[in-house]
Amino acid sequence: MTGSDYPHPSSFILHPFSGGKRYAALGPALRALFGGRTRRIPLDAGFTCPTRDGSLGTLGCLYCDEEGARPGYVKPELPVREQLAQGIARSLEGDPKTTRFIAYFQAYTSTYLGPEFLVKTGEPTDPTDPTDPTDPAGPTGPTCPTCPTCPTCPTGPMDLRAIYEEGLSDPRVVAMAIGTRPDCLPEPVLDVLSEFGRRTFLWVEIGLQSIRNATLAAVGRGHTVEQFIAASQRLKASGIRFCAHVIFGLPGDSRDDMLAAADLLNRLRAWGVKMHNLYIDKHSPLAEPYLRGEIPILSREEYLDLAVDFLARLSPEILIHRLVGETHPNRLLAPAWSADKTSFLNALDRTMTERGLFQGCAIQSPTESKTRNSI
């Protein structure tokens, strides 16, 4: 089986959703797809971000910690192959029954080859249609400044093929996930991703974070919503699944803005969504303004209410990769409630049951949902 032979995992999801959930949780879908429990092995291949290297900024996105979302136990000084081996061994110590792993290029921007490879455009050709993001740069995106026709591109400072190859160096790896930004997916990179998508079950995570460009600018993202839309369509045109990253509670975003992200992801036919509340990492640039009282944080009740309404508006075909912020408790400045992920997820399940909600119920009837999700 190659990556492109796999059916969409949501085809394994029956209504009501697997695992006793009222939403399409990623874990049960992958378990059904691969015939057993899978675990992600976080990897840091030595990338940076355009918001850190001076191309678009030096501080990083203001909510991001200085380690670019890398878990503390990952050792970036080791080759990817060794990180993978250590990560699998570590995972087996905690859970010996897991025999299938996902190579997860999580840290920083794991497709970023340098400023000359940034995709700077993404304006919709029809400004009234936010899902028509034809890139003025053309379907091929930017050309490589040094050798635009070279068949072995990318030729940047990072050899993407070699890096991702190491992610597949253990036969127990059944899938690969790559975290990146909408402006770091030029055509040469998409070509490499497509190759790996034909060899393994691949998905790419791209940050949307907010549907307001003013918010994106305020938190130093350095890209626009239009660039996100364009990137998601380039990925889909290349046959690559994408999972969108959305943050609720960014300063300036209203409740309606946050919920409208579901409508956009539905229209773009996202494969997955990773959503979480804004939390303050002690090592992020937001820590100081938070301590000065300048950054409001959602209460548990506010976020819970948003999360269930978001799920109700989200297509049941979109897999839920994450529902609450995750950081090491020693690094969490606020909110304290998000340290207890299990309690939050239980409360979310209870709330959806009490209110009679399930994913997508605000946009389709239970009958439609059953029809679309049954095997």
H/E element, 373: helix 366-373
Report in angstroms how near the CB of residue 232 gets to ligand SF4 at its nearest. 16
Report in angstroms how near the CB of residue 58 gets to ligand SF4 at its nearest. 10
Contacts of 26 (CB under 8 A, 6+ apart): 9, 272, 319, 320, 321
Q: Which of 25, 30, 49, 153 binds ligand SF4 (CB under 6 A)?
A: 49
Contact call for residues 273 and 320 (beta carbons, < 8 A): yes
Q: Which of residues 153-172 bind ligand SF4 (CB under 6 A)?
A: none
Q: Is 141 in the site for ligand SF4 (CB under 6 A)?
A: no
Cα 338 → chain centroid: 19
Q: How far is CA 207 from CA 13, 167, 245, 246, in A?
A: 25, 22, 5, 7
Instruction: Closer to ligand SF4 by CB, 76 or 239: give it.
Output: 76
Contact call for residues 319 and 10 (beta carbons, < 8 A): yes
Stretch that binds ligand SF4, among 27-35, 63-71, 186-194, 247-255 (CB under 6 A): 63-71
CA distance 275 to 340: 16
Rounded to the nearest 5°, which phi and psi values hold at 86?
-65, -40
Say if residue 157 is preceded by a cis peptide, omega within 30 of 0: no
Helix (H, G, I), strand (E, B) or coil at 138: coil
Contact call for residues 44 and 70 (beta carbons, < 8 A): yes
Q: Is 173 in the site for ligand SF4 (CB under 6 A)?
A: no
In the chain, the amino acid numbered 341 is K
- Give the pair of three-digit tokens for residue 331: 């690094």
Q: Is 109 in the site for ligand SF4 (CB under 6 A)?
A: yes
Q: How many other C-beta atoms can be found within 10 angstroms of the C-beta atom of residue 283? A: 13
Helix (H, G, I), strand (E, B) or coil at 351: helix
Instruction: Closer to ligand SF4 by CB, 199 or 331: give it.
Output: 331
Instruction: Closer to ligand SF4 by CB, 167 or 316: give it.
Output: 167
Report in angstroms how near the CB of residue 13 gets to ligand SF4 at its nearest. 29
Q: Is 210 in the site for ligand SF4 (CB under 6 A)?
A: no
Report in angstroms how near the CB of residue 89 gets to ligand SF4 at its nearest. 26
Q: Which of residues 285-304 bind ligand SF4 (CB under 6 A)?
A: none
CA distance 134 to 138: 7
Report in angstroms how near the CB of residue 284 gets to ligand SF4 at its nearest. 9
Instruction: Closer to ligand SF4 by CB, 10 or 55: give it.
Output: 55
Q: Is 219 in the site for ligand SF4 (CB under 6 A)?
A: no
Q: Which of 41, 43, 61, 258 binds ligand SF4 (CB under 6 A)?
A: 61
Q: Is 181 in the site for ligand SF4 (CB under 6 A)?
A: yes
Q: Which of residues 65-94 bind ligand SF4 (CB under 6 A)?
A: 68-69
Q: Which of 10, 18, 38, 51 binds ligand SF4 (CB under 6 A)?
A: 51
Site residues for ligand SF4 per CB under 6 A: 49, 51-52, 60-61, 64, 68-69, 108-109, 181
